[in-house]
Structure 1
């Protein structure tokens, strides 16, 4: 659908007399002529000037989902990768758009707020990072996978040592998520390459604690 076309959320007498749906404005005036995006019914209506539209948001985090509503300027363009603050019953969450569900049931990577039914998002304020750690000195220890919690804006740098959640490790390779922006490839393994925790799919690292655990076993 062309994004330049003016669209509004109004009641449709044919398919949605009880709740607003997205309509294309065919002509303006005191009684504007509009066409329903759901059923294509053309009718006249009074368009109220709205400062915001109320839209549903689903925030996923750590295998759990929270539903909330957000107010958005009707002409605002929304895109996957955009981040915004969501107020839920439990807390304020920083959310990143991963998919946009349209009023007509389709999915897209970008849309005007008036066309949106639901914003599917991922919480990025505090995140769980997947680590794959291999032993520092070899031996009989095996590679292990752990998950650590941290602020989403913490930076991981290839070649640098980090300490989080009781783990000490040196980063060797990082994989970024599909919904991360400002990255030109999925994997980074050169010294100095970096990514934020909220953008990470997985971190491969050398376990700096492996020797101490081997000694403690004795």
Structure 2
């Protein structure tokens, strides 16, 4: 393992290889090969942040563990805990007191507003001649849907014509794909 530290021979901060770990570190300079001891860096203290975890139509309060030095951004992925249950979540909002910034230091965060992305419900509008049939498909957040692809949804074969993403953009080009966790709605025609 490598570590940046001040070398007494080189007189500047250089890359060192850690040779031995105990109460302090035995390191060797990569520039001059000098071996010396340095103090072990302090371990960052974990910060437990309150998280509101949404799974489609229900929300629960859980926690996310961050390091003191971490910065959190909207769109980041974390592991959240609710009791013994563990979920992969995406940050949708950050609360710092009364403000809602797009990023914040872990120590300043009051709460994180998140949504579960392990398993998501994809809303699908199937056009069948004169009517549109609403369908809901629970699937893995990493499953991809492709424009022009054929899916079997509620016993119907459906060709995907376009996909609306959560960021507001619309995908229409044949062959383009999107992960289920990024999709707001899938549109298709019944075959």
How many angstroms apart in 1 are the aligned matches of 2:73 and 2:119? 21
Aligned-pair distance for 1:199? Answer: 0.4
Alignment partner of 1:143: what SS? strand
Answer yes or no: is 1:193 the counterpart of 2:176. Answer: yes
Aligned-pair distance for 1:49? Answer: 7.7
Alignment partner of 2:181: what SS? helix
Aligned length: 150
Q: Deviations over 1:67-117 (max 9, x none)?
A: 112221011010011111112136211110000000x32111111101101
How many angstroms apart in 2 are the aligned matches of 1:197 and 1:167? 19
1:20-169 maps to which residues of 2 (within 5 A)? 51-89=45-83, 91-102=85-96, 104-135=97-128, 138=129, 142-164=131-153, 166-169=155-158
Q: Which has the higher strand share?
A: 2
How many angstroms apart in 1 are the aligned matches of 2:134 and 2:63? 36
The answer on whether the counterparts of 1:149 and 1:165 sit within 8 Å (CA) in structure 2 is no
Q: Structure 1: where are the runs of 5+ without partners?
A: 1-47, 179-184, 209-218
Alignment partner of 2:148: what SS? coil
Alignment partner of 2:107: what SS? helix
Residue 205 of structure 1 corresponds to 188
Residue 173 of structure 1 corresponds to 162
Aligned-residue Cα RMSD (Å) equals: 1.9
C-alpha spacing 1:97/1:107, structure 2 compared with 1 (3 Å): same
C-alpha spacing 1:80/1:167, structure 2 compared with 1 (3 Å): farther
How many angstroms apart in 1 are the aligned matches of 2:142 and 2:174? 20
Give the TM-score normalised by the residue count of structure 2. 0.73
C-alpha spacing 1:113/1:142, structure 2 compared with 1 (3 Å): same
Give the TM-score normalised by the residue count of structure 1. 0.64
Task: List, as ranges, runs of 4+ consecutive aligned residues in structure 1 with deviation greater than 6 Å.
Answer: none
Q: Structure 2: where are the runs of 5+ without partners?
A: 1-41
